[in-house]
Amino acid sequence: MGIVQAVRRYYVNSVRLIKITKKPTKRELSITSRITAIGVVVIGTIGFLLQTMVSFIVE
């Protein structure tokens, strides 16, 4: 398979994907944003706690 065919296939697949996607409703966007924010807070809290524990162990 040549590079031209690979690029053409990627383009066709991308166009097909764009055609079937839709804009999220306000409710969907709100739920997604809340879940993302909760995930960021959880990951940040875990990182902070690990860093704090390691700093106490090292000192």
Residue 11 covered by a domain: no
- How confident is the model over 8-19, as a mean pLDDT? 94
**Domain annotation covers residue 38:** yes
Range of the domain at 41: 23-59
The domain tally of the chain equals 1
SS (H, E, C) the chain: CCHHHHHHHHHHHHHHHHHHCCCCCHHHHHHHHHHHHHHHHHHHHHHHHHHHHHHHHHC
Residues 6+ apart with CB under 8 A from 32: 24
In a domain, 1, yes or no: no
Asked if residue 39 has pLDDT above 90, the reply is: yes
Percent with pLDDT over 90 in the chain:
81
The whole-model pTM stands at 0.62
Whether pLDDT at 1 is above 70: no
Asked whether residue 54 is domain-assigned, the answer is yes
Evaluate whether residue 27 is within a structural domain.
yes
Distance CA 3, CA 7 (A): 6
